Chains A and B, each alone.
Chain A
Amino acid sequence: MFSDLLMIWSDQPGISLGIWLVVLITVLYLARLPAHQMLISTGRMVYRFMRSASRAFTKIERQAINRNKEVILAQGREATEKVIEREFTRVSEIVAKDLSRYPVLHRKLSDVIDQLEKDYESSTDTPPLPPEWLSVVQTISELPKQSDPLVSDILENIKEKVGKAHEETLKAYQKATGERHDILASMQPNWRSLSGKMDKAQTAVSISQERAEAIDRHMEMYKAIRDGEDKAARALTASSLTQFFIAGLVLFVAAMGGLINFQLIAMPMSEMVGGSSYIGSLKTSNIAALVIILIEIAMGLFLLESLRITKLFSVIGHMDDKMRKRMMLITFSILFILACIEASLAYMRDLLALDREVLKQSLIGSSVLEAEFRWIPSIGQMVMGFVLPFALSFVAIPLESFIHSSRTVLGVISVAVLRVIAIALRLIGGTANQLCKIAVYLYDMVISVPLAIEKLIRHVIGSRTREPGKQKTEPASAENSKAMYVDETGKKPAKKTARKGRRDTELLDDDLAFGKS
């Protein structure tokens, strides 16, 4: 068919092809103007459409950013309020515990100080001084020996009496000094007590000061959040991302624990619900085991919710204390029962595995050996079956963090996706526009021969009809194709003036348009 069409002009393919080329180039030359218009307008249309779509996506992205910021600030505000509330509670406890006893402490300190003053005064009492007549005794003792024995006896007696009196006085002095030392020694515990009480007071004051500083920090953060500062939003986003990954890691560990738990109870569950029953493609016993584990997790959630450790269910959080305690008791009871069931199932699993092994051994004809210390794995399995449900119940804590932080993470991901789409649309639009422009040049390249002829003819006609002062007629070319369109349509191209305060997106659009003129 194609060859017939090709050979329509001549039997010789070369000639026929040549004629076809001439026809084609002629047609292309004649259709040059509308073809150029079509290509350029198509490029512009794609470019504008893509730019509009990109702007729409950018707008959605901005909305998403604002929404994310609102969400993260709201979460941060709530969290900071809780932290500040907790700090105030701590300060209140410190005040109630330590500073409320300050009057008592003050009184005790006053008492101790009074006691110390009294003791001090007591210790300053002057001891009895030796009597002045001691100098007389001294004088007497220094008198020369008398020959008169009577006088000598009298003097000896006086000396003896005075010596005795001196010894008594010295003893009294020593006693008084000892009493003063005792008083001073009794002051020591009072000093220690005073020092201890002062230390306690200092500790209480320093703790209060630390709490006050922490409150100041949190209040600054709260103020930043309330003012909607970007810095605060960024800090909260980073914190949320960290929370997301940590909570995800803990959930993964919990999932592994759940898997072990599943393996522990799936086989013995077939004793309860049958080993050959299926729901869809899944064994009923496996589904039953899974349901038990999920119920345990649910009970754990409710238990931690009742304990007000997590706040996933507002209904439980709003319950009055009496009802909440009842709920706590019920959920714990169910959890305990399920843990007992799991322990028994784990034991049954061990028995079943043993029975199956014995059967296999008998089928292959070998004797069954009684393994020693078989009770150790049996008890281990039972303990695992009992402990794992309680361990799984704590999954509520990372789950809450994960859910809270996932909102932020999803928001960040959606913003990133929207941004990528917007940039991709701009790139596609700009590329399409430029490709159409390249196509215009290619078009002219194909019909370069008739264009050259036209240029020559115009040049000849122009030289003949040229008049002095008249402008030279420009040959039609791709460069001035726009001028041709202007001539055809009779409209002047609107000059683009540089607008002040253009948006970044428009600048980017211009860049992508590769020198849109």
Chain B
Amino acid sequence: MNNRIIMKIGLTLLLTTALIACSQNTPSNRAVYLLIDTSGTYAEELSKAQAILNYLLGTLDSGDSIAAARIDSGSFSEKDIIAKMTFDLRPSMANSQKRQFKSRMDRFVDRIRYGSAHTDITGGVLQAAEYLNETGAGEKYILVFSDLEEDLKRGHIRNFPITLSGIHVVALNVTKLRTDNIDPRDYLNRLAAWQQRVIDGGGDWRVVNDLDRLDTLIAAR
């Protein structure tokens, strides 16, 4: 009799566990691609980019992917990727990888002396989308640390639709240019144009200028 009762309780527990397990979808890993504008005077903002990266390293977990790349005159290139990494499933190894990533980023910031002549944001976004799609992550983020003023080199073609389906694009620290102060509509038009482009590409657009509110940047797991 006791065995029967125990069996019933065990079966009930098993069924409950199975139902709970099957009732929700598996949470997926995250992939973040940080684009850092190194053109012109924006190169002076790199310390802020470092703070963002440190926040990302503290937030991302085992199995998540992260990449940091610079925006220069021609950004659609693997050479512009400063560091990329998919964290190991073991937390101890992941911590070690985070240290490596940070040291690479620190080295890059130390080496930067002058900004690039032109600003190819679209190329960087294309490169980021390609990387993120390759990771196969459930949540994909492109963080654009730039003033969003694109200045293409002569001959570079970027005025075509870009595919950003399922990617959250977040513009960070979009600084106002001197001309924006004269006519703020330039700034608003610039943001609106990028928003339109991202939404047309199937992505999701957000602007975060207050870097003290980075906790809303990526979804916590």
Chain A residues within 8 Å of B, Cβ to Cβ: 267, 270-271, 274-282, 311-315, 351-352, 355-356, 359-360, 362-365, 403-404, 407
B21:A362 contact, CB within 8 angstroms: no
CB contacts under 8 Å to A, within B94-121, are 94-95, 98-99, 102
User: Within the complex, what minimum Cβ distance (angstroms) separates B41 from chain A?
Assistant: 24
- Determine which of A270, A315, A404 lies in contact with B62 in the assembled complex, contact meaning CB atoms within 8 Å: A270
Interface residues on B, range: 20 to 34
- Chain A residues contacting B24 (CB-CB under 8 Å) are 280-281
- Determine which of A276, A314, A356 lies in contact with B2 in the assembled complex, contact meaning CB atoms within 8 Å: A314
- Chain B residues contacting A362 (CB-CB under 8 Å) are 99, 102
- Determine which of B2, B21, B90 lies in contact with A280 in the assembled complex, contact meaning CB atoms within 8 Å: B21
Distance A458 CA – B97 CA, assembled complex (angstroms): 108
- Chain A residues contacting B55 (CB-CB under 8 Å) are 363
**Given A274-B89, A276-B29, A363-B102, A281 contacting B23 (CB threshold 8 A):** yes
Distance A236 CA – B80 CA, assembled complex (angstroms): 81
**Given A280-B20, A362-B99, A274 contacting B27 (CB threshold 8 A):** no
User: Within the complex, what minimum Cβ distance (angstroms) separates A412 from chain B?
Assistant: 17
A270:B91 contact, CB within 8 angstroms: yes
What are 8 A-B pairs with beta-carbon distances under 8 A? A271-B92, A275-B89, A276-B89, A279-B21, A281-B26, A311-B2, A356-B91, A359-B99
Distance A362 CA – B89 CA, assembled complex (angstroms): 21
B62:A276 contact, CB within 8 angstroms: yes
B21:A281 contact, CB within 8 angstroms: yes
User: Within the complex, what minimum Cβ distance (angstroms) separates B176 from chain A?
Assistant: 28
- Determine which of B62, B98, B99 lies in contact with A274 in the assembled complex, contact meaning CB atoms within 8 Å: B62
Distance A362 CA – B26 CA, assembled complex (angstroms): 32
- Chain A residues contacting B2 (CB-CB under 8 Å) are 311-314, 403-404
- Chain B residues contacting A271 (CB-CB under 8 Å) are 90-92
B99:A275 contact, CB within 8 angstroms: no
Distance A443 CA – B92 CA, assembled complex (angstroms): 85
User: Within the complex, what minimum Cβ distance (angstroms) separates A275 from chain B?
Assistant: 3
A275:B62 contact, CB within 8 angstroms: yes
User: Within the complex, what minimum Cβ distance (angstroms) separates A495 from chain B?
Assistant: 54
**Is the C-beta of B157 less than 8 angstroms from some C-beta in chain A?**
no
CB contacts under 8 Å to A, within B26-73, are 26-27, 29, 54-55, 57-58, 61-64
Distance A277 CA – B91 CA, assembled complex (angstroms): 12
- In the A-B complex, the 4 residue pairs with the closest CB atoms: A276-B63, A280-B21, A275-B62, A274-B89
- Chain B residues contacting A351 (CB-CB under 8 Å) are 92
Q: Who on chain B is nearest to A406 by CB?
A: B5
A403:B57 contact, CB within 8 angstroms: no
B63:A274 contact, CB within 8 angstroms: yes
Distance A282 CA – B29 CA, assembled complex (angstroms): 14
- Chain B residues contacting A276 (CB-CB under 8 Å) are 29, 61-64, 89
Q: Who on chain B is nearest to A348 by CB?
A: B92
**Is the C-beta of B22 less than 8 angstroms from some C-beta in chain A?**
yes
- Determine which of B6, B23, B91 lies in contact with A403 in the assembled complex, contact meaning CB atoms within 8 Å: B6
Distance A315 CA – B3 CA, assembled complex (angstroms): 9
**Given A403-B2, A403-B5, A277 contacting B23 (CB threshold 8 A):** no
- Determine which of A274, A312, A314 lies in contact with B90 in the assembled complex, contact meaning CB atoms within 8 Å: A274
- Chain B residues contacting A312 (CB-CB under 8 Å) are 2-3, 6
